Amino acid sequence: MSFSNRSAVLCLGGGGARGLAHLGAVEALQSAGIVVERYVGVSSGSLAGALCAITPDISHVQGNVLRFLSSAQFQRRQAALFSTATPLEGPTVSGLFRWYGQIRQFLGARHQLLQFFRKPALMPGVLMQELIAELLPDIDITDTQIPLSVVALDLLSGRRVVLERGRLRTALLGSTAIPGVFPPVAMDGMLLCDVGVVDAIPTRVGRAHARDLTVAVDVGGELRRTSHCRTAADVFLRISNVSEHLFRDYSRDLADLVIQPDVAETPWFDCTDARGLIDAGRAAAVLALCSADLNRVSAGRRIPEFPDAGLRTPVVACPEI
């Protein structure tokens, strides 16, 4: 299995800890001879993309990440996240909305709920700040060895933005700021947060850059049948979850190759089986490459229309889409 004459823009979707699977997928693509010409990432996908864009040697990246995740410092952070996360009654929601359900269970009493709505976020931003500072140097996005696009949502303008210059750590902090869970991040007159609810796989941005292939890695969960929608909150969460998956379906259709690691059962905050997540990404990529006929794929495939309103145009150092 060799694709030594092909290059790709790699679009890495959000999914919290499941984003570790991206590192395995990148390994398989490199082993197949595909040259990654750019990484485009959302949320944890932007973090994985930044790691690979700075250090193209994927085995070195994996080793550094695994060492950090096994450190006492990270274990303390993991314990803090576990202390606020409670299991749901069943796997009725996935992705970001699984976490919102956990928040609702965690808050419980009315006074806790009122405190939550008065605070900028449930978790302090320092948790992600320290993690990003440990893993990545304080450089400009333009200083990575492989070009990188970090996708986020600007709450002030209501638009998706694609960050391709500016301080890398700040951009990643904004892209990984799950709404309501981590506080939004100020950058260059914007207020950034995770755009994964409505643009979890950044293939539209990736295709605008691609000279050859657009490859998507989707680490989100599956949409499953729910057993009930009893309350207004249940209905809201269900509609939002369905909307997220409709956008995921659209985004996957824009890719020439889609890699979907089997990681849906891993909670977004659980990094305890980091090596298993990396292995799952590698296995899914190998399977996708073996099943694909990329020789039939040519660059410049038309992007289908979709009514995505204000999310259509990146506004920061990115080609018009």
- Give me the average pLDDT of each 10-residue run along the chain (321 residues): 86 94 98 97 97 97 95 75 49 46 48 53 77 95 98 96 97 93 93 90 96 95 80 77 79 94 88 95 96 69 46 43 36
CA distance 146 to 168: 13
What is the model's pLDDT at position 36?
Answer: 97
CA distance 282 to 29: 9
DSSP H/E element including 132:
helix 126-135
The neighbouring-strand residues paired with 163 are 150
pTM to 2 decimal places = 0.82
What is the model's pLDDT at position 245?
Answer: 76
CA 135 vs CA 51, 73, 254, 321: distances in Å: 8, 12, 31, 31
- For CA atoms 122, 125, 126, 131, the dihedral sign is positive
Rg (alpha carbons) of the chain, rounded to whole number: 19
CA distance 220 to 67: 25
Three-point CA angle 186, 130, 98, nearest 5°: 75
Local structure of 68: helix, strand or coil: helix
Local structure of 237: helix, strand or coil: helix
What is the model's pLDDT at position 81?
Answer: 59
CA distance 69 to 181: 21
